[in-house]
Amino acid sequence: MDVKIEESWQNVLQDEFEKPYFKNLVSFVKDEYTTQKVYPAGNQIFNAFAMCPFDEVKVVILGQDPYHGPNQANGLAFSVSDGVRTPPSLLNVFKEIKSDLGKDIPETGNLERWAKQGVLLLNATLTVRAGNAGSHQKKGWEEFTDAVAQKVNDLKEHVVFMLWGAYAQKKGAFIDQEKHLVLKAAHPSPFAADRGFFGSRHFSKANKYLEEHGKKPIDW
Protein backbone atom coordinates (compact mmCIF):
# COMPACT_ATOMS: atom_id res chain seq x y z
CA MET A 1 0.00 0.00 0.00
CA ASP A 2 1.39 3.41 -0.97
CA VAL A 3 1.31 5.64 2.12
CA LYS A 4 2.76 9.14 1.85
CA ILE A 5 5.12 9.18 4.82
CA GLU A 6 8.75 10.23 5.22
CA GLU A 7 11.06 7.80 3.40
CA SER A 8 12.98 6.34 6.34
CA TRP A 9 9.69 5.62 8.11
CA GLN A 10 8.27 4.19 4.88
CA ASN A 11 11.07 1.64 4.86
CA VAL A 12 10.64 0.70 8.52
CA LEU A 13 6.83 0.52 8.48
CA GLN A 14 6.10 -0.89 5.03
CA ASP A 15 4.95 -4.25 6.41
CA GLU A 16 2.47 -2.44 8.66
CA PHE A 17 0.85 -0.69 5.70
CA GLU A 18 0.01 -4.03 4.11
CA LYS A 19 -1.92 -5.37 7.12
CA PRO A 20 -5.73 -5.57 6.96
CA TYR A 21 -6.26 -3.30 9.98
CA PHE A 22 -4.30 -0.50 8.33
CA LYS A 23 -6.23 -0.75 5.09
CA ASN A 24 -9.46 -0.53 7.11
CA LEU A 25 -8.06 2.46 8.97
CA VAL A 26 -7.22 4.26 5.73
CA SER A 27 -10.74 3.66 4.45
CA PHE A 28 -12.24 5.01 7.69
CA VAL A 29 -10.01 8.09 7.77
CA LYS A 30 -10.67 8.95 4.11
CA ASP A 31 -14.42 8.72 4.72
CA GLU A 32 -14.17 10.92 7.82
CA TYR A 33 -12.23 13.64 5.99
CA THR A 34 -14.83 13.54 3.21
CA THR A 35 -17.91 13.74 5.45
CA GLN A 36 -16.76 15.42 8.69
CA LYS A 37 -14.54 18.22 9.96
CA VAL A 38 -11.39 16.41 11.08
CA TYR A 39 -8.10 17.55 12.63
CA PRO A 40 -5.29 17.94 11.84
CA ALA A 41 -5.33 18.95 8.17
CA GLY A 42 -4.92 15.91 5.96
CA ASN A 43 -1.40 16.88 4.90
CA GLN A 44 -0.33 17.04 8.57
CA ILE A 45 -1.45 13.59 9.72
CA PHE A 46 2.11 12.24 9.50
CA ASN A 47 3.81 15.51 10.45
CA ALA A 48 5.61 13.91 13.43
CA PHE A 49 7.33 11.53 11.02
CA ALA A 50 8.07 14.14 8.35
CA MET A 51 9.88 16.37 10.85
CA CYS A 52 11.67 13.59 12.72
CA PRO A 53 13.01 10.88 10.39
CA PHE A 54 13.49 7.42 11.91
CA ASP A 55 17.27 7.67 11.73
CA GLU A 56 17.25 10.85 13.80
CA VAL A 57 14.92 9.83 16.66
CA LYS A 58 16.55 10.52 20.03
CA VAL A 59 13.51 11.15 22.25
CA VAL A 60 9.93 9.87 22.06
CA ILE A 61 7.10 11.72 23.82
CA LEU A 62 3.79 9.86 23.76
CA GLY A 63 0.50 11.76 23.63
CA GLN A 64 -3.04 10.49 23.25
CA ASP A 65 -5.36 12.43 20.91
CA PRO A 66 -4.80 15.43 18.65
CA TYR A 67 -6.36 18.70 19.84
CA HIS A 68 -9.92 18.93 18.55
CA GLY A 69 -10.35 22.74 18.42
CA PRO A 70 -9.92 24.98 15.37
CA ASN A 71 -6.33 25.60 14.21
CA GLN A 72 -4.79 23.73 17.15
CA ALA A 73 -3.59 20.31 15.98
CA ASN A 74 -0.55 20.29 13.69
CA GLY A 75 0.37 16.61 13.71
CA LEU A 76 2.79 16.80 16.65
CA ALA A 77 1.76 15.60 20.11
CA PHE A 78 1.26 18.46 22.62
CA SER A 79 2.14 21.04 19.92
CA VAL A 80 -0.07 23.79 18.49
CA SER A 81 0.42 25.98 15.45
CA ASP A 82 1.99 29.43 15.68
CA GLY A 83 -0.47 32.08 16.83
CA VAL A 84 -2.60 29.62 18.80
CA ARG A 85 -2.83 30.06 22.57
CA THR A 86 -0.64 27.54 24.40
CA PRO A 87 -2.88 24.83 25.93
CA PRO A 88 -2.71 24.26 29.70
CA SER A 89 -0.84 20.94 29.55
CA LEU A 90 1.82 22.35 27.24
CA LEU A 91 2.14 25.45 29.41
CA ASN A 92 2.88 23.14 32.33
CA VAL A 93 5.54 21.41 30.23
CA PHE A 94 7.16 24.79 29.60
CA LYS A 95 6.95 25.64 33.32
CA GLU A 96 8.77 22.40 34.17
CA ILE A 97 11.44 23.16 31.57
CA LYS A 98 11.92 26.60 33.14
CA SER A 99 12.21 25.05 36.60
CA ASP A 100 14.51 22.28 35.36
CA LEU A 101 16.74 24.14 32.91
CA GLY A 102 16.10 27.83 33.55
CA LYS A 103 14.75 28.44 30.03
CA ASP A 104 12.12 31.14 29.56
CA ILE A 105 8.62 30.07 28.55
CA PRO A 106 8.38 30.51 24.75
CA GLU A 107 5.78 32.70 23.10
CA THR A 108 4.67 29.90 20.77
CA GLY A 109 3.47 26.40 21.54
CA ASN A 110 4.70 25.13 18.19
CA LEU A 111 7.10 22.26 18.91
CA GLU A 112 8.47 21.85 15.40
CA ARG A 113 11.85 22.97 16.73
CA TRP A 114 11.89 19.92 19.04
CA ALA A 115 10.87 17.56 16.24
CA LYS A 116 13.67 18.82 14.01
CA GLN A 117 16.18 17.96 16.76
CA GLY A 118 15.06 14.33 16.99
CA VAL A 119 12.04 14.41 19.30
CA LEU A 120 9.25 12.15 17.99
CA LEU A 121 6.03 13.76 19.24
CA LEU A 122 3.75 10.77 18.77
CA ASN A 123 0.05 10.77 19.53
CA ALA A 124 -1.57 7.35 19.99
CA THR A 125 -4.38 8.46 17.66
CA LEU A 126 -3.38 10.66 14.72
CA THR A 127 -6.77 12.11 13.78
CA VAL A 128 -9.94 13.33 15.54
CA ARG A 129 -13.31 14.81 14.68
CA ALA A 130 -13.70 18.51 15.44
CA GLY A 131 -15.02 19.05 18.96
CA ASN A 132 -15.22 15.32 19.67
CA ALA A 133 -12.29 14.06 21.73
CA GLY A 134 -11.55 10.37 21.32
CA SER A 135 -13.74 10.02 18.26
CA HIS A 136 -11.08 8.22 16.21
CA GLN A 137 -9.90 5.91 18.96
CA LYS A 138 -10.10 2.13 18.46
CA LYS A 139 -10.15 2.46 14.67
CA GLY A 140 -6.63 1.17 14.13
CA TRP A 141 -4.43 4.16 14.95
CA GLU A 142 -3.39 2.73 18.31
CA GLU A 143 -2.20 -0.49 16.66
CA PHE A 144 -0.21 1.55 14.16
CA THR A 145 1.43 3.80 16.75
CA ASP A 146 2.20 0.76 18.93
CA ALA A 147 4.08 -0.63 15.93
CA VAL A 148 5.95 2.69 15.54
CA ALA A 149 7.07 2.61 19.17
CA GLN A 150 7.99 -1.07 18.83
CA LYS A 151 10.20 -0.33 15.80
CA VAL A 152 12.03 2.42 17.69
CA ASN A 153 12.46 0.07 20.64
CA ASP A 154 13.73 -2.83 18.54
CA LEU A 155 15.86 -1.11 15.91
CA LYS A 156 17.46 1.76 17.84
CA GLU A 157 19.52 2.13 21.01
CA HIS A 158 19.74 4.77 23.72
CA VAL A 159 16.46 6.54 22.98
CA VAL A 160 14.70 8.48 25.75
CA PHE A 161 11.01 7.64 26.17
CA MET A 162 8.98 10.19 28.14
CA LEU A 163 5.78 8.58 29.40
CA TRP A 164 3.48 11.10 31.04
CA GLY A 165 0.34 9.76 32.66
CA ALA A 166 -1.18 6.28 32.95
CA TYR A 167 -2.20 6.04 29.29
CA ALA A 168 1.31 6.68 27.95
CA GLN A 169 2.88 4.42 30.59
CA LYS A 170 0.59 1.56 29.61
CA LYS A 171 1.30 2.11 25.92
CA GLY A 172 5.06 2.11 26.56
CA ALA A 173 5.12 -0.79 29.01
CA PHE A 174 7.03 -3.05 26.58
CA ILE A 175 10.01 -0.71 26.09
CA ASP A 176 13.36 -2.36 26.84
CA GLN A 177 14.83 -0.43 29.74
CA GLU A 178 18.21 -2.11 29.23
CA LYS A 179 18.54 -0.41 25.83
CA HIS A 180 16.67 2.83 26.44
CA LEU A 181 15.93 5.39 29.14
CA VAL A 182 12.29 5.36 30.23
CA LEU A 183 11.14 8.41 32.19
CA LYS A 184 7.72 8.24 33.85
CA ALA A 185 5.70 10.99 35.53
CA ALA A 186 2.15 12.20 36.00
CA HIS A 187 0.49 13.83 33.01
CA PRO A 188 1.20 17.59 32.72
CA SER A 189 -2.50 18.46 32.61
CA PRO A 190 -3.69 20.92 35.29
CA PHE A 191 -5.53 18.03 36.96
CA ALA A 192 -2.41 15.92 37.46
CA ALA A 193 0.78 17.99 37.10
CA ASP A 194 1.12 18.56 40.85
CA ARG A 195 1.15 14.80 41.43
CA GLY A 196 4.66 14.24 40.09
CA PHE A 197 5.08 15.99 36.76
CA PHE A 198 6.37 19.18 38.34
CA GLY A 199 9.81 18.43 39.71
CA SER A 200 10.33 15.34 37.54
CA ARG A 201 13.25 17.03 35.73
CA HIS A 202 12.78 14.85 32.68
CA PHE A 203 14.41 17.36 30.36
CA SER A 204 17.76 17.58 32.14
CA LYS A 205 17.72 13.80 32.70
CA ALA A 206 17.11 13.22 28.98
CA ASN A 207 19.95 15.50 27.96
CA LYS A 208 22.36 13.94 30.46
CA TYR A 209 21.55 10.48 29.08
CA LEU A 210 21.93 11.60 25.46
CA GLU A 211 25.31 13.19 26.19
CA GLU A 212 26.48 10.08 28.05
CA HIS A 213 25.79 8.10 24.88
CA GLY A 214 27.51 10.50 22.51
CA LYS A 215 24.40 12.27 21.26
CA LYS A 216 23.74 15.98 21.03
CA PRO A 217 21.35 17.17 23.75
CA ILE A 218 18.00 18.73 22.89
CA ASP A 219 17.61 22.49 23.07
CA TRP A 220 14.30 22.41 24.90
Residues forming the active site: 65
Question: 88-101 and 202-212 are packed helices; what angle lies between their axes, rounded to 10 degrees?
Answer: 60
Residues in contact with 13: Cβ distance below 8 Å, sequence separation at least 6, in sequence order: 3, 5, 147, 148, 151
Tell me what percent of the chain is helix, strand and coil, each rounded to the nearest 5: 40, 10, 45
Q: Identify any residues that bridge with 161 across adjacent strands, giving them in sequence order.
A: 60, 182
Amino acid identity for residue 116 in this structure? K
Amino acid identity for residue 149 in this structure? A
CA gap 135, 89 in Å, rounded: 20
CA gap 67, 64 in Å, rounded: 9
Task: Report cis status (omega within 30 of 0) of the bond before 88.
Answer: no
Q: Are 39 and 67 in contact (CB under 8 A)?
A: yes
CA gap 6, 141 in Å, rounded: 17
